[in-house]
Structure 1
Amino acid sequence: MSALAVRARLSSLPTLADVWSGRRNGFGLLRLVFSVGVIIEHARPLGFHQPEPLKSLSRHQVDLGALCVAGFFLLSGLLITRSAMRTDLRRFLWARAVRILPGFWACLLVTVLVIGPIVAWRSGMSLHDYFTHPEGPWRYLRKNCALAMNQFGLSGLLADNPYPKAFDGSLWSLSSEVFCYLVVGGLAALGILRRNRAVVLVMLAGALLFMASLAVKAPHLRANIYAETGHGAYILPLIGWLSLNNLLPLMFMFGLGAAAELYRERLPIHWAIAAVCAVLFGGSMRFGGFTLIGLPALAYLIVWTAVRTPSPLTRIGAKADFSYGLYIYAFPVQQTLVLFHGTRWGFWPYVALSTAVALGMAACSWYLVEQPTLRLKDKNLDNLTPPFLHRRRKAGDVAADAAPEAQLQEA
Structure 2
Amino acid sequence: MADKHDDAEALVVGAGVAGLAAAHRLTSAGLDVVVLEAEVRPGGRLSTLETSGGPMERGAQFLSTGYTVIPELVSVAGLADQVVPVSGRSMVLLGGRSHAFDTMRPGTLVRGGTVRARDALPALRGMMRARRLAHRDIADIGQWADLDQIDGQSWSTAVFGTGLTARLLNPTVLGLYFLTLSANSGAIPGALAAFQARRAKAVTVRGGLGRLAVALARPLNVEYGVRVERVWRDGTGGAVLATNRGRRRAASVVLATPAKPTTEMLAEPTPQEAAVLSVPYSRGLLIGLALGEQLAAGEVGDAYGVLASPGDTTPLAAVAVRSRADAGSSGDLLTVMLRPSAVDQWWSASDRDLHGVAVAALSPLLPELKDRVTGAHIVRWEQAMPAVPTGHVAAVTAYRRGIRPTDPVVLAGDYLGFPWTDSAAFNGRWAADHLLSR
Q: Give your verdict on TM over 0.5.
A: no
Highest RCO, 1 vs 2 (Cα 8 Å, sep ≥ 6)? 1
- The normalised TM-score by structure 1 is 0.27
Larger strand proportion of the pair: 2
More helix by share: 1
